[in-house]
């Protein structure tokens, strides 16, 4: 019996595989079956247009979403959205390279640490030699061990007095302890978290002691394996967050989690599997066993932290965006489904609010924000945009609805910072572009978008109100690059014949609106925080830029489009890199860093920007690009 008899064949070009799917299966599902992961930042809603494919054979009637997304000509030649197309007949499908999910994105793994914390891990190892029991000394095993662990009084001590916390252990450890310490010949390595005995290992294993720090980005997971005795990083890796398949920003994740009872679990297990796999890869890379990892520190935005813990993010999606938990969480890693040492612990960083999460607290800790004497702005521009203002002993924190425009989403030819992405654009009489990996261009990443907008503003091709229009001296600014698309003006960043996709790379009017919204949201946020602190932009002593995007922009261009305050001298704008991962590393190696994070999270005043009375006005005003910030100097 042919098991494919009732299934429909779908062939994917140019890579070639043919799969058989049941009638009605979506084309994205068929692609997944063929091993092709398609971009789908909107979560399969037909909104982003990223999953476009061309049906070479078998194209049916387009949906309304597809009609909005494609021109009549495109529809006629078979262009469709894979997330909207059910398989009803045998298909041959062309998948453009740009439609494939980028699995080798350029991810920032290095972050600067401006604060100084001693190495004092939350889980410690101590090699001890116990006096064997005798009729003169028949103290219980665990007290014998506790006594040996007391540094000052190795022998002959009574049980700890009531002021001290007695050594404790969970049922599984208690059950193993008596045999274990005897098999070890009354010496071995105690693994301790506070007064809790996690394990007792034969021999001296104090050097085999590791932790993994994980930055759970909305888009990217980054993880570092740390050798705790030295604090040295043994390996570092990154992967896409597999939750991107369910939507590219936190809002689409939150809404996906509500869709049906199993969806939260689907999101949870996706990210847990990916972290678990990263842990395995890091261990393999460093040549250690998973069971030699005793501690995990996880940081992420509030939604990511909720999802990784399996806590519903539902109320993060509803006014007033209330998190379930504010302080840090410590629990058994096994309880989250993460496989390290069986008794290993997981730490989840404290958050400030529904949209100012543990990644920001980690960054604040790494940046030593509480130690800044003069007003300092901390900006993390990634999938979200978070702003923290340190002013004396006060901290103000807010999230902006910047959206993922800077990561290439919702931009016609936007893409993540991956090989082939245009990452830099400048004009010196003619247009220059630079791509990541020097590959043929596939699209533009966020830093190029900022560059281009800044150059076009300078050249008059972009008006302060955001209108794209052929500049008066258009020849000087590339007169042949101005076209109309879908009845709106657009600028050709790279003509079709030079791209990897065979399609022109454009900046559309719609793209500019997305940029205005994203940059305006951050600009308005900075204004409002400064106002709350009673400060002016001129009072700012420094701006710290964190996050993937922030580290690749040209600072002066960012000032030109109003994303960064033009009033701050450019040399006082510092790139700190991936401070979320840097902070997560600190949490893994230093209890003091954890205590500082707790203090920062507790101290920071969380500002709900949308609830501020003058938010609407500030946002509307910030949507306009700055009129004149003396931008005749060349970009730095």
Residues of this chain that bind its own copies (CB under 8 A): 133-144, 158-159, 162, 166, 168, 170-171, 174-175, 177-179, 182, 309-312, 314-315, 319-327, 329, 331, 335-336, 351, 353-354, 595, 598-599, 602, 606, 608, 610-611
Report in angstroms how near the CB of residue 302 gets to its own copies at its nearest.
Answer: 9
Q: Is the CB of 134 or the CB of 260 nearer to its own copies?
A: 134
Report in angstroms how near the CB of residue 128 gets to its own copies at its nearest.
Answer: 17
Report in angstroms how near the CB of residue 602 gets to its own copies at its nearest.
Answer: 5
How far from the centroid of its chain's Cα atoms is residue 610's Cα?
23
Cβ–Cβ under 8 Å, residues 369 and 600: yes
The alpha-helical segments, DSSP class H, found in 396-464 are 446-459
Q: Where is 282: in which H helix or E strand?
A: helix 263-286
Q: Give the SS3 label for residue 125.
A: strand
Q: Is the CB of 314 or the CB of 532 nearer to its own copies?
A: 314
Q: Where is 337: in which H helix or E strand?
A: none
Report in angstroms how near the CB of residue 582 gets to its own copies at its nearest.
Answer: 24
Q: How far apart are CA 107 and CA 102, in angstroms?
A: 12
Q: Which of 539, 543, 558, 572 is nearest to 631 (CA)?
A: 558
DSSP state of 38: B
Cβ–Cβ under 8 Å, residues 586 and 113: yes
Q: How many residues appear in the chain?
A: 636
Report in angstroms how near the CB of residue 125 gets to its own copies at its nearest.
Answer: 21
300: its two tokens: 């992420």
Q: Is the CB of 162 or the CB of 438 nearer to its own copies?
A: 162
Report in angstroms how near the CB of residue 541 gets to its own copies at its nearest.
Answer: 28
Cβ–Cβ under 8 Å, residues 280 and 312: no
Q: Is the CB of 200 or the CB of 491 nearer to its own copies?
A: 200
Q: Which of 123, 217, 577 is nearest to 366 (CA)?
A: 577
Q: Is the CB of 40 or the CB of 145 nearer to its own copies?
A: 145
Q: Is the CB of 22 or the CB of 166 nearer to its own copies?
A: 166
Q: Is the CB of 145 or the CB of 212 nearer to its own copies?
A: 145
Report in angstroms how near the CB of residue 174 gets to its own copies at its nearest.
Answer: 6
Cβ–Cβ under 8 Å, residues 458 and 476: no
Q: Is the CB of 112 or the CB of 312 nearer to its own copies?
A: 312
Report in angstroms how near the CB of residue 343 gets to its own copies at its nearest.
Answer: 13
**Residues in contact with 16: Cβ distance below 8 Å, sequence separation at least 6, in sequence order:** none
Which residues share a beta bridge with 377? 389, 543
Number of H helices, E strands in the chain: 15, 27
């Amino acid at each position: 019996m042919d098991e494919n008899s009732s299934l429909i064949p779908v062939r994917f070009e140019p890579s070639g595989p043919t799969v058989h799917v049941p009638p009605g299966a979506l084309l994205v599902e068929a692609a997944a079956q063929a091993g092709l992961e398609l971009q789908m930042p909107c979560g399969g809603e037909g909104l982003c247009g990223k999953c476009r494919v061309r049906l070479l054979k078998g194209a049916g009637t387009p949906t309304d979403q597809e009609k909005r997304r494609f021109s009549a000509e495109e529809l006629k030649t078979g262009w469709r959205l894979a997330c909207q197309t059910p398989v009803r007949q045998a298909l041959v499908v062309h998948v453009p390279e740009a439609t494939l999910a980028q699995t080798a994105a350029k991810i920032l793994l290095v972050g600067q640490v401006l604060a100084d914390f001693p190495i004092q891990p939350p889980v410690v190892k101590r090699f001890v030699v116990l006096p064997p029991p005798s009729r003169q000394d028949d103290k219980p095993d665990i007290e014998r061990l506790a006594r040996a662990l007391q540094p000052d009084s190795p022998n002959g001590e009574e049980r700890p007095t009531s002021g001290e916390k007695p050594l404790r252990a969970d049922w599984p450890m208690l059950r193993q302890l008596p045999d274990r310490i005897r098999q070890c010949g009354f010496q071995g390595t105690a693994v301790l978290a506070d007064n809790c005995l996690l394990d007792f290992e034969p021999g001296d294993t104090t050097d085999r002691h590791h932790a993994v720090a994980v930055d759970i980005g909305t888009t990217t997971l980054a993880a570092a394996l740390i050798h705790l005795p030295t604090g040295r990083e043994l390996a570092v890796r990154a992967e896409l967050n597999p939750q991107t398949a369910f939507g590219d920003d936190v809002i689409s994740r939150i809404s996906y989690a509500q869709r049906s009872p199993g969806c939260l679990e689907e999101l949870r297990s996706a990210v847990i599997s990916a972290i678990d796999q990263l842990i395995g890869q890091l261990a393999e890379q460093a040549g250690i066993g998973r069971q030699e990892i005793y501690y995990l520190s996880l940081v992420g935005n509030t939604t990511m932290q909720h999802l990784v813990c399996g806590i519903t993010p539902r109320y993060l999606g509803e006014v007033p965006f209330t998190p379930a938990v504010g302080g840090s969480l410590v629990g058994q890693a096994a309880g989250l489904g993460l496989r390290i040492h069986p008794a290993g612990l997981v730490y989840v960083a404290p958050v400030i609010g529904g949209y100012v999460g543990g990644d920001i607290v980690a960054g604040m800790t790494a940046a030593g924000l509480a130690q800044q004497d003069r007003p300092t702005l901390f900006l993390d521009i990634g999938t979200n945009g978070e702003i923290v203002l340190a002013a004396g002993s006060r901290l103000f924190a807010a999230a902006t609805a910047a959206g993922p425009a800077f990561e290439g989403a919702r931009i016609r030819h936007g893409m993540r910072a991956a090989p082939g992405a245009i990452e830099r654009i400048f004009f010196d009489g003619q247009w220059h572009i630079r791509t990541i990996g020097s590959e043929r261009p596939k699209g533009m990443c966020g830093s190029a978008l900022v560059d281009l907008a800044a150059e076009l503003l300078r050249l008059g091709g972009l008006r302060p109100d955001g209108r794209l229009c052929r500049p008066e001296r258009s020849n000087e600014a590339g007169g042949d690059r101005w076209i109309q698309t879908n009845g709106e003006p657009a600028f050709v960043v790279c003509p079709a014949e030079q791209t990897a996709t065979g399609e022109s790379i454009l900046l559309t009017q719609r793209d500019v609106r997305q940029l205005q919204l994203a940059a305006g949201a951050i600009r308005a946020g900075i204004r409002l925080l400064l106002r709350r602190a009673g400060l002016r932009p001129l009072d700012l002593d420094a701006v710290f830029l964190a996050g993937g995007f922030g580290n690749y922009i040209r600072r002066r261009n960012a000032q030109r489009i109003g994303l960064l305050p033009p009033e701050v001298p450019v040399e006082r704008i510092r790139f700190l890199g991936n401070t979320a991962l840097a902070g997560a590393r600190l949490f893994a190696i230093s209890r003091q860093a954890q205590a500082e994070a707790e203090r920062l999270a507790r101290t920071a005043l969380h500002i709900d920007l949308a609830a501020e009375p003058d938010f609407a006005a500030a946002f509307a005003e910030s949507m306009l690009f700055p009129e004149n910030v003396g931008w005749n100097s060349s970009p730095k």
